[in-house]
Amino acid sequence: MKLNLRERYAFGLVAVLSCLLAVPSRMSGQAIAKTSNALDRIRFGDLGTDAFSESVHGFINLGNPMGTGALGQTWREIAPSATAANIGNPAYNQALTFTMACDPSLQNYLTLQLWGSDTTLDVIYLYTAKQGYQVSNYYSTNQPEIDYQETADPAFAGRFLYETVAIPLAMTTGKTSVTLTLNAAQSFYYYNNVTTNLPAGATSRPIYSAFTHTNPYLILDPADPQGTAPAGATPTPAALDAAYLNGLTTSITALLQTVQSNQIYGSAWSSAVAKGTVPAQIYGYFDAGKSPSNSYTLTQWLNNAAIDTSAGNNVAMERLDMLAYVYSTPGIVPSLYKSAPLVPAIYSALDSYSFMQSLNGSWGDMTAWNGVGATSATVSNPYGRTNAQGSPIEGAGTWAIGSAIVDLSTDSTFLSALDQPINATLEPGVMRYQAYQAMLSAHLAFLGSAVGYGHAPNQDLLQARAYVYTNLALQFLDKRYGTALAVSNATVLA
């Protein structure tokens, strides 16, 4: 399975495992424990038992702050320049520079050993000449920062923490050793790229050791001290608060009544569609403050629907999943569980979002109608869609489409509706399941595109959820109709 480098924290906390392979260091014969899969290790600040570790690794900046810390282990810190005029300029920081063994043909990794209770605010990165000295050049890239201590909360209290990043292949290919530089800033605010470089008197958090290895998952020598996990708290038995539960049910019921009232659905709306005063494409979508009697032109109706749907990262689309979830799940709102009138309301919403989807598979950042009928139809674009700008966080709402289909995947009424034409005028000859498959496939492609995937971890979470639910819905339709449009789980996780 191919791992995206943004998932570096997936192997950040290294377990103490055993391995039978003996791997000697290539740096001046320094021994690595036979039970570790590391190629090499440098212990920072050790002037005692491993006093040669820094010297054998060509360590630079012996004046860096150093000391003895957790579990009697030694460390060094990255500090600002010792020259007053250069303080605050990361190019002049007292960085940690050293040379480590590497494999000349494989992907090599660097792992830092930190103490999980340290809360010094910092952003530590592996300096590369291509990215330079600004932290903003590393954050959310394929060569990201290694450590980001943003708050005073300990990351792994009472234990050592191991954080791993890939070393660029350009630095190691054809070589058996590589010179590495660790640098740091004090903070970085990812929404506006504001960086605070190390001021006078500040340092990075202590760095205890650095390892190089070719397996993304570092295996340590069991003799390495690790610390102690905190004692688990005694679980508190839950007690039913009937009054609270009843109040919660009342609130949820009221919310869902509002959700239903905000759907462009029902006899008044279908009559307006039949009269030609409301376009058929929008029948079923969710919006607030709309009435069939609004004096909009058909174009205004379409544009308003697109703009309102994409507002707020498309969260209005989540109302679809609210209805699908309470319909398919017992114990939430008893009056709506398996309530027959909800099923056509749900697939009408799915129909409308299918018609609304842009040519490039998106519903995000629409400034006008991009769906069916947006432009003249052609052979290559038979329904006249146009491209939307698309959003890297529209998954906050679009996940509901796949989720709703999965929620109703065993419902007989919904299954019957899948085998019916979606709309003889808008998409003649197209069955509902075919329209849904086309919608889901296009959205899956968008989410994997350069525009569609997130550009920060929180954005990744939104888009990943949409990706997973979209693919699950495609898997259900594939199984039912003998198609093969969903991607494999391995590809989803890649």
All structural domains of the chain: 5-213 (2.60.120), 242-493 (no CATH)
CA distance 149 to 320: 38
Q: What is residue 387's three-state secondary structure?
A: coil
In this prediction, residue 23 has a pLDDT band, given cuts at 50, 70 and 90, of very low
Q: Provide the sign of the torsion angle of the four alpha carbons 115, 162, 489, 464, taken in this order.
A: positive
Check: CB of residue 209 under 8 Å from CB of residue 113. Answer: yes
**Average pLDDT over every residue of 457-486:** 95
pLDDT above 70 covers what percent of the chain?
Answer: 92
In this prediction, residue 33 has a pLDDT band, given cuts at 50, 70 and 90, of low
In this prediction, residue 446 has a pLDDT band, given cuts at 50, 70 and 90, of very high
Higher pLDDT, 346 or 461: 346
The gap from C-alpha 144 to its chain's centroid, in whole angstroms, comes to 15
Nearest C-alpha neighbor of 302 from the set 379, 233, 242, 356: 356
β-pairing verdict for 109-115 and 122-126: unpaired
pLDDT of 204 higher than 60? yes
- Residue-wise pLDDT for 397-440, tens only, equals 999 999 999 999 999 999 999 999 999 999 999 999 999 999 99
Predicted confidence at residue 489, as pLDDT, reads: 64
| List of residues 6+ apart from 211 with CB closer than 8 A | 38, 39, 40, 41, 110, 111, 113, 218
Six token digits for residue 348: 């009408």
Six token digits for residue 399: 């996940």
- Residue-wise pLDDT for 299-335, tens only, equals 999 999 999 999 999 999 999 999 999 999 998 999 9
**Average pLDDT over every residue of 156-162:** 96
Predicted confidence at residue 479, as pLDDT, reads: 97
pLDDT above 90 covers what percent of the chain?
Answer: 82
| List of residues 6+ apart from 135 with CB closer than 8 A | 90, 123, 125, 145, 185, 188, 195
Pure H helices in 338-493:
342-356, 395-407, 412-418, 432-447, 457-481, 489-493
pLDDT of 453 higher than 90? no
Strands (E), 117-185: 122-126, 147-149, 160-166, 177-185
In this prediction, residue 10 has a pLDDT band, given cuts at 50, 70 and 90, of very low
**Average pLDDT over every residue of 449-463:** 86
In this prediction, residue 11 has a pLDDT band, given cuts at 50, 70 and 90, of very low
In this prediction, residue 456 has a pLDDT band, given cuts at 50, 70 and 90, of confident
The mean predicted confidence, pLDDT, of the chain is: 91
**Average pLDDT over every residue of 115-132:** 96
Predicted confidence at residue 491, as pLDDT, reads: 53
In this prediction, residue 153 has a pLDDT band, given cuts at 50, 70 and 90, of very high
Most confident of 60-64, 181-185, 191-195: 181-185
Q: List the helix and strand counts (H, then E) for the chain.
A: 12, 14
Check: CB of residue 25 under 8 Å from CB of residue 32. Answer: yes
pLDDT of 454 higher than 90? no
pLDDT of 12 higher than 50? no
Q: What is residue 237's three-state secondary structure?
A: coil
pLDDT of 14 higher than 50? no
Six token digits for residue 80: 């600002």
Q: Residue 468: what are its φ and ψ, rounded to 5°?
A: -65, -50
